[in-house]
Structure 1
Amino acid sequence: MHGDSAPSKKKSKTKLWTVGVFVVIVAVTWWRPIYPAEQALHHSLTVLGVVALILVNRARPLPYASFLAILIFLAIHSVAARWIYSFVPYDDWTDGLFGFRVNDLFGWQRNNFDRLVHLSYGLCFGPVLYRALKPRLGKWAAFAAVDIVLSTSALYELFEWAIAMSLAPGDAEAYNGQQGDMWDAHKDMALATLGAIVGVAVLSRGSRALNRTTGTTDSGG
């Protein structure tokens, strides 16, 4: 029993430090906020996500990889929320660091940071769900993980639509970041689903390769 407590305490400390880094990132995004009301509205989901993560981790400690993946997604979301998604200055960042602008490179006409966030949702949460569901669902865990990402993405788009309907037109556009694209919701769901497929496939193949090397059975942990 004592042999198990030391690794458990070490993992808990590592998770605590990770949460601390996440809190610092969020705090930095709130330095002299540009759109405080809209940013706060976006962060209502951040708060719910962090609370849910802590409660789930207390009830059933998550593998550190899953814990980290969730906080990485929330950190990316927090960065996007500072500029209400539509105005994240990634072109200025890449221009200053590398001498090129991403939009010019790919011929984009809109700010696509919101696409990155939806893609990262699938990339981060797909493997988390697959790892959690694998012991119970076996070979169906991959399908279930992708399906949950797609379903929750659709629910979020419905939630976003409901919020937008309750706001003035200008505020609605500022919140949902559609940027004039009538297919915005469809593209966001498609990218989240693609991210989940890629994330689950990479984790599944990696687990099988590791199991072949070690001679163990894939349990999804």
Structure 2
Amino acid sequence: MFGGLLAVTWWRPPFPAEQAMHHSLTVAGLVVLILVHRRRRLPFSSYALILIFLGLHSVAARWMYSFVPYDDWTRALFGTSLSEAAGWERNHFDRLVHLAYGLCFGPVVLGFLRGRWAPLIAVEVVLSTSALYELFEWGIALTLAPADAEAYNGQQGDMWDAHKDMALATAGAVLGVLVTRWWQRRADLASVCSDEASSKPAG
């Protein structure tokens, strides 16, 4: 499914060079995923979360994040644009992707960890990798022409763009980790209750 979505996003791309730049990290991420898979098979939920994020990233990369036409989509479906309904003055698809990064990768990282501090460490990993990505974007801004850097980074004139992106990724990680821990405890409790019920003598 992800392969099909990726192929569709490359059909007559409006910004092919910029899309290829964005997908350099997609390729790197897939290589890491393959290497991890060879050493340790992840649960299905982890693969699903990773591919959901990569799918959102692929859609965003097609339109350089800043020009994802979700207003056209909502106008066609509901007769009004999302930006008009929410009072937005910028394209917020990049915010969605950063939030999704935390939501998707917080639980994935948590799956590798054990112990009391595992949830906190998972959130910190998401925050630190999000910060590293913002530093990568800063490096892009230093090496490219100003117009090209703005097109790639998609700040849309917001001087606090990097801070907001990291905050959303962190918030997503906190939410994702909390939901995962709640689900795990619920499953553990159900398992204990089932074991107790099966161990009771009949009659």
Structure 2 length normalisation: TM-score?
A: 0.93
In the TM superposition, what are the counterparts of 1:172-211 in structure 2 within 5 Å? Answer: 172-211=149-188
In the TM superposition, what are the counterparts of 1:145-160 in structure 2 within 5 Å? Answer: 145-160=122-137
Structure 2 gap segments, 5+ residues each: 194-203
1:82 to 53, 62, 68: 62
1:44 to 8, 14, 24: 24
Task: State how many pairs are aligned.
Answer: 193
Q: What stretches of structure 1 move > 6 A for 4+ residues in a row?
A: none
1:122 to 94, 102, 106: 102
| Corresponding position: 1:113 with 2:93 | yes
Amino acid at match of 2:35: L
Cα deviation, residue 100, structure 1: 2.3
Partner SS, residue 139 of structure 1: coil
Identity, % of aligned pairs? 66
1:65 to 11, 24, 45: 45
Map Cα deviations across residues 135-164 of structure 1 (whole Å, 9 max, x no partner): xxx121100000000000000000011011
Cα deviation, residue 99, structure 1: 2.0
Amino acid at match of 1:77: H
Q: What is residue 17 of structure 1 aligned with on the other side?
A: none
Partner SS, residue 179 of structure 1: coil
Structure 1 length normalisation: TM-score?
A: 0.86
2:13 to 18, 26, 33: 33
Partner SS, residue 113 of structure 2: helix
Partner SS, residue 88 of structure 2: coil
Distance, in Å, in 2 between the alignment partners of 1:213 and 1:23 is: 37
Amino acid at match of 1:131: G
Distance, in Å, in 2 between the alignment partners of 1:24 and 1:49 is: 18
Structure 1 gap segments, 5+ residues each: 1-20, 217-221
In the TM superposition, what are the counterparts of 1:123-142 in structure 2 within 5 Å? Answer: 123-134=103-114, 138-142=115-119
Amino acid at match of 2:59: V
| Corresponding position: 1:53 with 2:29 | no
- Looking at CA atoms only, which structure, 1 or 2, has the larger radius of gyration? 2
Distance, in Å, in 2 between the alignment partners of 1:183 and 1:177 is: 12
Distance, in Å, in 2 between the alignment partners of 1:61 and 1:210 is: 21
Distance, in Å, in 1 between the alignment partners of 2:156 and 2:10 is: 24
